[in-house]
Amino acid sequence: MDGLTITKCTGYTECQQLLQDNEFKEILEMSPTEAEFLFYIIKKFNPKNLLEIGIAAGGSSLLLLEAIKNQKDAVLYSIDCCNLYYRDKSLKTGYFAKRKIGSTDKWKTYTGGLAYEYMDTFDKKFDFVLLDTRHMNPGELLDFLMVYPYMSENAVLVLHDTAMHTLAIEMQRSITNCLLMSAINGEKYIPETYEPVYFPSKHPTERLHVNKRCVPNIGAIKIDNKLKNNIYNVFNLLSLPWYYFPEAEKLSEIGTFLQKHYDKKYIALYESTVNYQLQVKTIKEEIKNTENSYQQMKREIINMKNSINKLEREYLKKEFDGLSEKIEKLQASVNLIEGKSI
C-alpha cells in the first residue's frame, strides 16, 4: 500500500523522561513531538539493524538507544562526516550520548567520513535508517543513494527537518529532506500534531521565524519495491541547485561506489549531473571573484578620491595661509605708511 498515515505518537515515558533534561533538549534539535515520533516508529517496527547518518552531539542517537534498549540484538550504527561536534569544536561528535550511556554493545560510531566509506564494512542489511545531515542539496540525496542498496526490503526511512525551509527566509535552501519525503515510494507516516520547527535558544536563526506552524518537520517512509524501478526520481533531484559542494575527489569516489549498486544509465546521469554542478560552481566562483575585484576597485577608487580630496584641502589650506600671511604683511605696510604720513 502506498499512502499516508497520520499518527498519534505520545505517551512514551522513556522519551518524556529524557526530555525533562534541559541540556538534552538543548542539544537534541528536535521538538518533543518529533522525539516521540521517532520513538513511535521504533516501537511500531521493532528494527534490529539501525543506521543513523548524522550524529552531531548524539541527541537522536540517545533517543534511538533508549528506544531499543529492551530489544534483544538491536544495534545502532551511527555515521558522521565530522570528528568534532559542529556547534562546539572543542567537543567530539556524539559526546553527549557517550557521556550519558558510557560503553555499550548496542552503539557503534564511525566519524570522519561519508557513508560510502563504511557501508561495505557492516556486512548486513538495515531495516531502519535515519537521515539528518546537511538538509541542503546535495546532502541527504547523496546519503540516501549511498545507503539504499544496504536497506532491507520494506525498511523504514526517517527524515528529520523536512520543514526546515519554512523556518526562516534565509533557510529556504533547506529543502532536501522535503524533496526526499515526496520522491521516495512507500507508506508514509507523519505526526498528527506538531510544534513549531525547533532550534535551541542560541541558534542564530531564532529571531528570523516566519512560519511557526506549517507542516510536520519529521516523517517516515516504509519503503516498498516500487522504489527500485523509480530510483530515477532521486537521481533526478541531483540536477536541482546545490548549495554546498563536497570535494571533487569525494564526488568521484561516490560515483565509483554507486557503480557497484546501480544501473549504468543512472551512473551516467550522476556523472553528467556532477559535471554540470561543478561547472556551475566554477562559474559562481568566477562571478564572485569578479564581484570581489569590482568591490575592491570601488574601495580603491573611494580611497583615491579621499586622498585627492585630502591633498586638495591641504593645498588649499596652504595657499590660503600663504595669502593670509601676504595680506597681513601688506596691511602692516599700509599701516606703517599711513603712520608716517600723519
pLDDT at site 167: 80
Query: What phi and psi, each to the nearest 5 degrees, are found at residue 242?
Result: -95, 140
pLDDT at site 212: 58
Question: By the 8 A CB rule, do 214 and 166 touch?
Answer: yes
**CA quadruple 319, 321, 323, 329: dihedral sign:** negative
For the chain, residues with pLDDT lower than 50 are 1, 205-211
Question: By the 8 A CB rule, do 173 and 243 touch?
Answer: yes
pLDDT at site 326: 87
pLDDT at site 207: 46
Q: What is the pTM of this model?
A: 0.84
Q: How far apart are CA 17 and CA 88, in angstroms?
A: 26
CA distances from residue 230 to 141, 158, 177 in whole angstroms, order as listed: 14, 19, 17
Q: Can you name the residues that pair with 156 across neighbouring β-strands? A: 128, 222
Region for residue 104 given its phi and psi (left: phi exceeds 0; alpha: psi -120 to 50; beta: otherwise): beta
**Residue 185 in 3-state DSSP?**
coil
Question: By the 8 A CB rule, do 128 and 156 touch?
Answer: yes
Question: By the 8 A CB rule, do 58 and 87 touch?
Answer: no
Hey, what's the torsion of the CAs at 179, 170, 112, 83, to 10 degrees? -140
Per-residue pLDDT tens for 91-123? 999 999 999 998 899 999 999 999 999 999 999
Per-residue pLDDT tens for 121-176? 999 999 999 999 999 999 999 999 999 999 999 999 999 999 988 887 788 899 99
Q: How far apart are CA 26 and CA 201, in angstroms?
A: 8
**Residue 53 in 3-state DSSP?**
strand
pLDDT at site 214: 73
pLDDT at site 125: 97
